[in-house]
Chain A
Amino acid sequence: MKPRQQRMALIAGVLVGVVVAVGFGFRAFQENLSYFFSPSDVAAGKSPTGRSFRLGGMVVNDSVQREAGSLTIDFTVTDFANAVPVRYTGVLPDLFKEGKGVVVRGQVGADGRFVAQEVLAKHDENYMPPEVKDALAKSRQAENK
């Protein structure tokens, strides 16, 4: 090959690589976007069905229930306007507590119960996940109207 052709081949190879990578990227991106909804959004039917999303709010006091010795736990998440029952099976993060903020990732089941695959609590005891803070502020605004 002449130098010119070589350079063209190189550029073509790079271009094909970039296009393939970008294609893969957008597909992976679309599939892995996870949206955040508040309990009020869920009550209003804004949340998707059959697709997982994140739900955040406060864990209602005295709502945590579990059968002794079982890994499955039931609790209620609220933004003080609406509440959604949640079920989770597994080990809970350290910062999960009644009366504190929480974000759970999962899907709403046929019975209206949110089945969580993951419970996130990446904040310290006083700090609220920003999503939850916004959601609470919104529901408070709606109340005052």
Chain B
Amino acid sequence: MIPEIGQFALVLALCLALVQATFPLLGAALGRTEWMALARPAAAGQFVFVAIAFGILEYAFLTDDFSVEFVAQHSNSALPAFYKFTAAWGGHEGSMLFWITVLAIWTMAVTVGSRSQPEEFASRVLGVLGIVSAGIIAFSLLTSNPFLRLAPAALDGNDLNPLLQDPGMIFHPPMLYLGYVGVAVPFSFAIAALLTGRLDKDWAKWTRPWTVAAWLCLTIGITLGSWWAYYELGWGGWWFWDPVENSSFMPWLMTTALLHSLAVTERRGIFKSWTVLLAIAAFSLSLLGTFLTRSPVMVSVHAFAADPTRGLFILSLLGLISGGGLLLYAFRARALEAEGGFKLVSREAFLLANNILLVIAAVAVLFGTLYPLFIDALGGGKISVGPPYFNAMFLVPVLPLCALLGLGMHSAWRTMSADALLRRLKWPAVAAVAAGVILPFVFFRTASVLAIVSITIGIWVCVSSMLDPARKLILRTGAPLTRGHFGMCLAHFGVGVFILGATVASAYNLEVDVSAKPGDTVKAGNYEFVFRGMKRVQGPNFVADEGEFELRRDGKLLTVLTPQKRVYRVQQNPMTEAAINTNPARDVFLALGDPLGDNAWSLRIQVKPMISFLWIGSGIMALGGVLAITDRRYRQLRQKPAVRVEAVGAA
């Protein structure tokens, strides 16, 4: 009975989403306030029913209700309770319901955060969000209902994919979805502005915190996914240019471009059409990502379902939403006049370069991701595009982008004399180049040109982004540091840290596959691995062969590593659980391969210097985003309405 209530709640949510999608938009067009006033109650009601539906699905998982097909397929009575909880988004149907839930959360946040904005504008924003929501709920109900019953009920569940039975899975999907779906908010702001014909500095100011919020969730979500792939997929890579990774990365690149373009629109009232286009593109790419991961075109751990109607439905939704957005843009773009100009050396010019380079990177990734699909669809055979293409195509625009970043941060709006810029940044640049050339040789004795260039750029970004905060916080000169400005500097510093981590971890990665027997000692670089033996370990729902290895450096014992080869009881898949010894300078990574006979095992050993800088750098970027959102400018924006609401209440 209870799962049917969940489905019924979802149907009610769809009805309310349709109300939210029609009346506020019509009301704003026809000037009928009573229709516009429906936007917030409809959104709130939708949120309640979506939450009920999601709660009921979680309840079905936690109580092992195997009469629900989705639960039977993705859970098992022996599964630990919190994996039962996360299993709710471990499959296609549940993850779509999760998508809807996340959109409802964002919509709720918009109903609260938009109270200071004109009623007409806010209703249009909520109306557009309603259209998106109605589309996805309809998709869920028509093609992938998570509450479908199984008759007769299964005795026990099919268990969750062992790869997903990991603490990383608790946070990676929710953060990524918050980011993916959060891009819908700047999108609806852009559409609402096009409808209103009012696309000005205020609009950019309203849109910015939402964009930063979505961006920072995307940043954290992608980083967690990469971290998870690194330690859980078992082979020590952290980015594979897998189509699914790409489909989360393209919206990230576009949202990053959008953030920068919005900064210009807010400050100077220019780049308007470009900003709107980026907002539409970012959300389209995020829908495309949903399509790519939810359709049979892709093979990866993420490809849950192979059902062509689902792919077709999402593709039509994508066509409708982004096609509609672009059409509207085509009609209204002429109204978006720039309110000023700028010179060749100015912050605007650098931000323009930033945008162009980011878009080039996104297009290159998009091309490499979609080309094989097109060729296959046209009957041209199965091809795949290798990671070297992506690496090259990504570095070509991104290295200059990062080199320019330092210059852009220190130039003024409108115009800047090149001499002043040079005077300001001469010494930091010299220091970065010197450090970039010397340090690799000091620490690693060799260096390729690419490594030297990338390390130089990484150091340059770190140094140039910290010049301002250092001057203001330590020397106490100049205007006080605002949170927005400090957040921007910090996020850029994070980019620098990330570049250093990515470069050093890939350029100086040591990787060996060896065969070893208990009693053997294997050497890799400065490290020795003493194989003490194997034993059988019982987990809650798996059995594992566990190896015991002493990790030694120059004869001194550092730690004991215990990599495992697990076999999960229900699905009977083997799974590699690598052992990783981490410190800030390097990770030592040891994974157990297969038994080779004669007591020997294959081992993969990797020493990855500075890989933790990758995660730390991304964390700093996200922290910068948090600081930027909590800037006083946006807080004031929210305090004003509270007064008005009270006044209304009193009246």
Q: A95 contacts B389, CB within 8 Å?
A: no
Query: Is A9 part of the contact surface with B, judged by Cβ < 8 Å?
Result: yes
Q: B388 contacts A71, CB within 8 Å?
A: no
In chain A between 1 and 53, which residues have their CB closer than 8 angstroms to a CB of chain B? 1, 3, 6, 9-10, 14, 17-18, 20-21, 24-25, 28-29, 31-36
Q: List the B side residues contacting A21 at CB < 8 Å.
A: 360, 364, 393, 396-397
How far apart are A141's CB and chain B's nearest CB, in angstroms?
Answer: 15
Q: List the B side residues contacting A113 at CB < 8 Å.
A: none
Q: A91 contacts B513, CB within 8 Å?
A: yes
Q: A17-B356, A94-B575 are in contact. Are A131 and B596 (CB under 8 A)?
A: no
Expressed in whole angstroms, the Cα–Cα distance for A66 and B593 within the complex equals 14
Q: B234 contacts A35, CB within 8 Å?
A: no
Q: A33 contacts B597, CB within 8 Å?
A: no
Q: A69 contacts B515, CB within 8 Å?
A: yes
How far apart are A28's CB and chain B's nearest CB, in angstroms?
Answer: 4
Q: A34 contacts B515, CB within 8 Å?
A: no
Q: List the A side residues contacting B513 at CB < 8 Å.
A: 71, 89-91
Q: A21-B360, A21-B397, A69-B517 are in contact. Are A33 and B593 (CB under 8 A)?
A: no
Q: B388 contacts A31, CB within 8 Å?
A: yes
Stretch at the interface among B30-38, B177-185, B599-607: B599-607
In chain B between 568 and 588, which residues have their CB closer than 8 angstroms to a CB of chain A? 571-576
Size category, A interface: 35 or more
Q: B514 contacts A71, CB within 8 Å?
A: yes
Q: A129 contacts B299, CB within 8 Å?
A: yes
Q: A66 contacts B382, CB within 8 Å?
A: no
Q: A130 contacts B602, CB within 8 Å?
A: no
One of B356, B389, B598 near A14 (C-beta < 8 A): B356
Interface of A is mostly: mixed
In chain B between 340 and 386, which residues have their CB closer than 8 angstroms to a CB of chain A? 341, 343-344, 349, 356, 360, 364, 367-368, 371, 381-386
Q: List the A side residues contacting B81 at CB < 8 Å.
A: none
Query: Is A122 part of the contact surface with B, judged by Cβ < 8 Å?
Result: yes
Chain A: CB-nearest residue to B600:
A69
Query: Is A70 part of the contact surface with B, judged by Cβ < 8 Å?
Result: yes
Q: B597 contacts A29, CB within 8 Å?
A: no
Q: List the A side residues contacting B396 at CB < 8 Å.
A: 20-21, 24-25
Chain B: CB-nearest residue to A35:
B383
Query: Is A134 part of the contact surface with B, judged by Cβ < 8 Å?
Result: yes
Q: A134 contacts B385, CB within 8 Å?
A: no
Expressed in whole angstroms, the Cα–Cα distance for A6 and B348 within the complex equals 14
Expressed in whole angstroms, the Cα–Cα distance for A1 and B418 within the complex equals 13
One of A1, A32, A35, A124 near B382 (C-beta < 8 A): A35
Q: List the B side residues contacting A1 at CB < 8 Å.
A: 344
Expressed in whole angstroms, the Cα–Cα distance for A89 and B604 within the complex equals 12
Q: List the A side residues contacting B367 at CB < 8 Å.
A: 25, 29
Expressed in whole angstroms, the Cα–Cα distance for A80 and B296 within the complex equals 25
In chain B between 593 and 632, which residues have their CB closer than 8 angstroms to a CB of chain A? 593-594, 596-598, 600, 602-604
Query: Is B338 part of the contact surface with A, judged by Cβ < 8 Å?
Result: no
Q: A33 contacts B385, CB within 8 Å?
A: yes
How far apart are A59's CB and chain B's nearest CB, in angstroms?
Answer: 14
Q: B382 contacts A131, CB within 8 Å?
A: yes
One of B356, B573, B597, B604 near A95 (C-beta < 8 A): B573
Chain A: CB-nearest residue to B296:
A130
Query: Is B506 part of the contact surface with A, judged by Cβ < 8 Å?
Result: no
In chain A between 95 and 116, which residues have their CB closer than 8 angstroms to a CB of chain B? 95
Q: B596 contacts A69, CB within 8 Å?
A: yes
Q: A10 contacts B389, CB within 8 Å?
A: no
Query: Is B21 part of the contact surface with A, judged by Cβ < 8 Å?
Result: no
Q: Max chain B CB contacts within 10 Å: which of A3, A9, A29, A129?
A: A29
Expressed in whole angstroms, the Cα–Cα distance for A130 and B572 within the complex equals 22
Expressed in whole angstroms, the Cα–Cα distance for A69 and B514 within the complex equals 10
Expressed in whole angstroms, the Cα–Cα distance for A15 and B416 within the complex equals 23
How far apart are A66's CB and chain B's nearest CB, in angstroms?
Answer: 6
Q: A29-B368, A94-B575 are in contact. Are A34 and B384 (CB under 8 A)?
A: yes
How far apart are A131's CB and chain B's nearest CB, in angstroms?
Answer: 5
Expressed in whole angstroms, the Cα–Cα distance for A125 and B161 within the complex equals 10
In chain B between 189 and 231, which residues have their CB closer than 8 angstroms to a CB of chain A? none
Q: List the B side residues contacting A36 at CB < 8 Å.
A: 381-384
Chain A: CB-nearest residue to B361:
A21
Q: A10 contacts B349, CB within 8 Å?
A: yes
One of A33, A70, A125 near B596 (C-beta < 8 A): A70
How far apart are A130's CB and chain B's nearest CB, in angstroms?
Answer: 6
Q: A70-B596, A131-B382, A134-B382 are in contact. Are A24 and B392 (CB under 8 A)?
A: yes
Q: Which 5 A-B pairs have the closest CB atoms?
A: A68-B598, A36-B382, A91-B593, A32-B386, A68-B597
- Which residues on B are within 8 Å of A, measured CB to CB? 161, 234-235, 296, 299-301, 341, 343-344, 349, 356, 360, 364, 367-368, 371, 381-389, 392-393, 396-397, 513-515, 517, 571-576, 591, 593-594, 596-598, 600, 602-604
- Which residues on A are within 8 Å of B, measured CB to CB? 1, 3, 6, 9-10, 14, 17-18, 20-21, 24-25, 28-29, 31-36, 54, 66, 68-71, 89-95, 122-125, 127, 129-131, 134
